[in-house]
Structure 1
Amino acid sequence: MPGPKRWTPALEDLADLRAGQGQGAGVPVDPVLAEHFERATDLLERMRQQSQRVPLTDRVARSQRVALLLTSDMRVLAASPRARALLGGCGEGAALLDHLTADGARSLRELVHLSRGRSELQRLAILHTDTQPRHLLARLIDREETPDPARRQAPALLIEALDIAWNAHLSRTLSGSFGLSPAEIEVIEGLMAGHNVREIAAHRERSEHTVRNQIKTALARTGTGGQADLVRLVAMIAKATPPAPSGAGGAEGLGRSRLLDLADGRRMEVLEIGPEAGRPFLFLHGMLDATAGLARMVGYLHERGLRAVAPLRPGFGESDTAGPPPQALERHVEDLRSLCAQESSQPMPVVAHMGGAVAAHTFAARAPEQVSAIVSVAGVVPIVDLRQITAMPRRQRIVAMTARFAPSVAPALLRAGIAQIDSDQVDRFLGALFPEGTPDRAVIDSLGVADLIHTAYRKSVARGPEGFQTDGYHVVRDWSRAAGAHGRPVHVIHGKRDPVVTARSVEAFARELSSRSLTMLPDAGQLVLYKHPHRVLDAIEVAM
């Protein structure tokens, strides 16, 4: 099976093989070959996990906790945002001494002295502080782990908060295992941070009586005999609960992230961009770039008072999976109904970006009373004719062919692509999608959004290929009945030079809609949202 470096050549070989095949009901896959791909799926998942290793300096810099990496002379190699705030923005590791107790400062100086002498006698120390967090763990990093090649002969000091790294996985584990509510989990998080009932109540703007009752409920549901036992239990669960891969699923720069509890026990991640009190619209993302296009125009959203509410479909980001593709779409539509009911009592505009068009039209068909209009931006159309697939660029062509004719092979191919995204090959992945000399590549280069798109790609693939399988399944099937059933106004904004969904296909699809307007932009490719943000925002405001 192709690894990250062979992903692009492998797809090109397969594209050449299939490009001349005629249309048919399906291409049979040999059972032995299918079994091989299933085994390869497991191997590729291991490759993916290995490729997600992040340099220590990056891990420290991205940490949500206090984290510092220092040289033996207290020079800062990397620091998290909270650590920089603790240092007062001076960038000198010695400033940490001002926040340590006398014993803590002495322990740190001893560890620094040992690092300079390259002693192996003592490797760590507990540092007491006069602020939050109350305790820090300082340890010497082995020479081969030191990220600075020029200093590998001198051990470095890694200093991290000695607390629980709270994350969405831990919250989901507590909710699923004990039936704890979000409010009860929030109280437990406060206890784990060392806060007392009064502090938790003040932070949550609740009465102390309410917080005590929530603690009692949490004790009963977890079967623990007291707060100390509860803290011990959660600490052990946290130790056994893997965090999201660093740098893979983060929402840095993509919006405010929250997890929405759903009626069937799943959780859906929702990203929001724009003013918190802004007028809401629903944004249904494409297959890869999540909310990157919106994130680039956050200033425009604030200027217009618009707030994007972007739910991530099952299997994307931190959203739980929802079963096989047909079932997953139906369940997601119900998720959207719940979300929109929470956000607004009035119908909302729905922005369908690229692959999000399938969900947008299906949702509008099921709940037209919750949708004021659809704004389709570089949206897909039903891919039901082989000529539509063969007109695509090579990479998209083979993925579409696999989804349509050999779906049992799709997971292995998708995992190979994900491994490339997670590895240092992400630039090659992006380059294959948007080659040099194309309108879309020019947009990426002129706006300087490559890093933002990389972040969005890693966000999308954080859970693996399930979300892509679902999207791929529906895109290459005839979902036009849903589009023709809802009767909601549809404003189609498309690039005439879009290499994946051709202008001809879009024009033909638009003619079938009962209430639509079509804006075909002659200078744009697929990245319409990036190149023409005000065209999109104008259409959203019209749909309000």
Structure 2
Amino acid sequence: MTKTSDTTSSVIEHLYDVAVDPTSYERLLDFWADMMRLPEGADGQADGVEAALAQLSGHLERADRVLAQSMMAPPDESAASAVGAVHHAATFAINKSGTLISVNAPAALALGITNGARAADLPFEPGEVDRLMAETNRILKGNARATTVMCLRARDTERLIVAHMRLYRPLSDEPFVLCVTSEISWPAGFTAQMQQSFGLSLTEIDLLRHLAEGHSVNDIADLRARSRETVRVQIKSLLAKTGTRSQLELVRLALTTVEALFAADDGFTADALPQSALEPHSFLLKDGRNFDYVIQGDPNGRPVFFLPMDFGFIRLPPAIEAEARRRRLKFIVPIRPGYGRSSPIPAEADYLGRLCNDLLDLLDHLKVQRAPILSMGDDSLIALALYAVAPHRFPALLCCAGTMPISARAQHDRMGKWHRFIHSACVYTPQMLPFVVKAGAAMARRVGKKRFFESIYAGSPADIATFSLPDVRDALISGSDIMLSENFSGHETFARELTAKVVVDWETPLRMMEAAATSGTLKVQFYNGEQDPQIPPKTLAEFAEEYSWISFRTYPDAGQLVFYLKWRDVLTDLEAVV
């Protein structure tokens, strides 16, 4: 950590101290005097102090408002009530064991956590979680009005996240610490309000969000893949359109709008970020069929082969795509045969074998010789089949909500009702499967994909919480148009693929992968939520015992949509293998 970042952190902590406890004002004065008292000739040190103070403008403005709201609730409320009272900032309640016993929607979006997460799941730099837990335990041992403020560094960035911590001792529940952070939730209507009031473009509104979230000009340039000069020009345009004179006034304007919208709407629905255009590319396969694909993240970055589950979730939410771009990751996303405009696999062909050949043709077309595979759901089986055909091309398989072949009746019986129904049709009544899948597509059209997905994940609170995040919901619903829309249904391909995954003999591919993983030439990493309706914890434990060469990372607060909640972990691991 640099001297400048140390100074910035200290200034923020002292100012928060005063906001919470005015009696600490003299301590702030003493600190300020020491900071500004520089020896003669210490020009470099003066530059450091100036740089530290320059980072505070937007950060402190929003932190002050977060604190004001957090202090309104009495300290004897339940965790759910205390957390639910904070609408515009990422907030969670943590107990002495480090379990996040209650989490609000902004925290799910900004921090990638839901109820039941562990402190270790928070996206902070190594060592920061230990500091948070030490402070939590210190507060829990203190008095009923204990409060404190911490500056924590976000993982993989230098950005500060401020946490205001306060002790609660409910009459009927265990004590907990309420943590209100400086991460913002943007209410529904914010985009429309800024467009209507100031004529801002979507690009300018996105820039305004970044400024209010505490990002520097350099951060924003990296996130948006633009030059620093371009970002500065855009900020000048923002200042002119809004009639503000500084970035601090810009942030104040944004936060005032946020508070007004939340006050006017008791529903507290968050606003989705604008999605980038998703234009499929096409090429002809060796047999003359058409094949579509999309590129997301950094078009010139390091390749990642993304297999997005048989629901066709080809679109990355804006936050994930922006981070992939910042990390220079190029997501190659195939639109599988029979979805969208990709020609279906001939009826007489070996489905899984031909699918693997088509996917390898795509990599050849893009001149990609080697790339890790990132899969979702039972596309882990497609990843397994691909590796068996061309092991030299895939150094790693990273499988979110990954599954292995279902080998026991008990594993089938443990599934949630939707997954159990489909799997049962595959295994026991394959002649019914096309009708079952077609009927599901008809239901989704009738009730809408939002209600359809909510029905599928109804037994997983974590998946419902993840799907309710506006950016995630919009990405899944719009991305899956390649599988099902008003004018198209890929139910025939869906049914063929389900059958192929069940009837294939996986023994040889599994032996190949085990040998490679054991020798260190292949990395196989699974990320599984313990609330996954397809692979519940007991089945996952059986997989871990049977396939000891796979590294399993589990999350108590996630389900089958684990990638959309824990994507920070996944992207970090991807960087190590691309």
TM-score (norm 1): 0.50
Distance 1:354 1:375 in 2: 11
1:276 aligns with 2:299: yes
Counterpart of 1:479 (choices 506, 524, 529) is 506
Determine the C-alpha separation between the residues in 2 that align with 1:513 and 1:255. 37
In structure 2, relative to structure 1, the CA distance for the partners of 1:405 and 1:325 (3 Å cut) is farther
Q: Which runs of 5+ in 2 are unaligned?
A: 1-198, 202-274, 517-521
Q: Tell me how far 1:471 sits from its aligned partner.
A: 2.5
Cα deviation 1:141-196 (Å, max 9, x = unaligned): xxxxxxxxxxxxxxxxxxxxxxxxxxxxxxxxxxxxxxxxxxxxxxxxxxxxxxxx
Q: Deviations over 1:389-413 (max 9, x none)?
A: 2211112111110111111211112
- Letter of the aligned partner of 2:560 in structure 1? Q
Q: Distance in 2 between matches of 1:320 and 1:358?
A: 22
Q: Distance in 2 between matches of 1:437 and 1:89?
A: 39
Partner Cα distance (1:513, 1:326) in 2: 31
Instruction: Report the AA paired with residue 529 of structure 2.
Output: G
Q: Is the 8 A contact 2:531 2:556 kept in 1?
A: yes
Equivalent position to 1:523, from 557, 570, 575: 557
In the TM superposition, residue 341 of structure 1 has moved relative to its aligned partner by: 2.6
Contact 1:315 1:463 in 2 (8 A): no
Q: 1:340 to 1:331 in 2, by over 3 A?
A: same
- The alpha carbon displacement at 1:424 in A equals 4.2
- Structure with the larger RCO, 1 or 2 (CA within 8 Å, 6+ apart): 1
CA spacing shift, 1:330–1:429, aligned 2, 3 Å: same
Shift of 1:285: 1.7
The reply on whether 1:535 has 2:575 as its aligned counterpart is no
3-state SS of paired residue (1:476): helix
Compute the displacement of 1:360 (Å).
0.7
Partner residue in 2 for 1:151 = none
**Equivalence for 1:493:** 527
Tell me the alpha carbon deviations over residues 429-469 of structure 1, each in whole angstroms, 9 at most, x when there is no partner: 12211227711101122445323322233322334312211
Q: What is the Cα deviation at residue 534 of structure 1?
A: 0.7
Q: Would you say the 8 A contact 1:381–1:505 is kept in 2?
A: no
Task: Please tell me whether the aligned partners of residues 381 and 475 of structure 1 are also in contact (alpha carbons under 8 angstroms).
Answer: no
Amino acid at match of 2:438: R
Q: What is the root-mean-square deviation of aligned Cα atoms in Å? A: 2.7
Rate the CA distance shift 1:433–1:400 in 2: closer, same or farther, 3 A: same
Tell me which of 470, 473, 477 is aligned to 2:496: 470
> 1:522: how far off?
2.0
Matches within 5 A, 1:321-340: 321-324=344-347, 327-340=350-363
Q: Partners in 2 of 1:389 and 1:513 — Cα distance? A: 18
Give 1:348's match in structure 2, choosing from 339, 352, 371: 371
Where 2:431 maps in the other structure, the secondary structure is coil
Equivalent residues, number: 296
Name 1:504's counterpart in structure 2. 538
Alpha-carbon distance in 2 for matches of 1:289, 1:359: 14
Residues of 2 paired with 1:312 and 1:437: CA distance?
28
Please name the residue that 1:394 is paired with: 417
Under a length normalisation based on structure 2, what TM-score does the superposition of the two structures give?
Answer: 0.48
Greater displacement, 432-441 / 290-299 = 290-299
* Matched residue type, 2:492: E
Q: Match of 1:310?
A: 333
Instruction: Answer yes or no: is the 8 Å Cα contact 1:340–1:370 preserved in 2.
Output: no
Q: Distance in 1 between matches of 2:439 and 2:478?
A: 18
Tell me the distance in 2 between the aligned counterparts of 1:284 and 1:325. Answer: 24
- Compute the displacement of 1:425 (Å): 3.2
SS in structure 1 of the partner of residue 532 of structure 2: coil
Superposition pairs for residues 198-277 of structure 1, below 5 Å?
255-277=278-300
Q: Which residue of 2 aligns with 1:319?
A: 342
1:305 Cα offset (Å): 0.6
- The one-letter amino acid paired with 2:310 is M
The separation in 2 between residues aligned to 1:254 and 1:372, in whole angstroms, is: 31
Whether the 8 Å CA contact 2:373–2:394 is kept in 1: the answer is yes
SS of corresponding position for 2:423: helix
Alpha-carbon shift at residue 264 of structure 1 (Å): 0.9
Letter in 1 for 2:281: R
Kindly provide the amino acid, as one letter, of the partner of residue 410 in structure 2: R
Give yes or no for contact 2:438–2:492 (8 Å, CA) kept in 1: no
Return the alpha-carbon distance in structure 2 between the equivalents of residues 360 and 472 of structure 1: 15
Contact 1:254/1:291 (8 A) holds in 2:
no
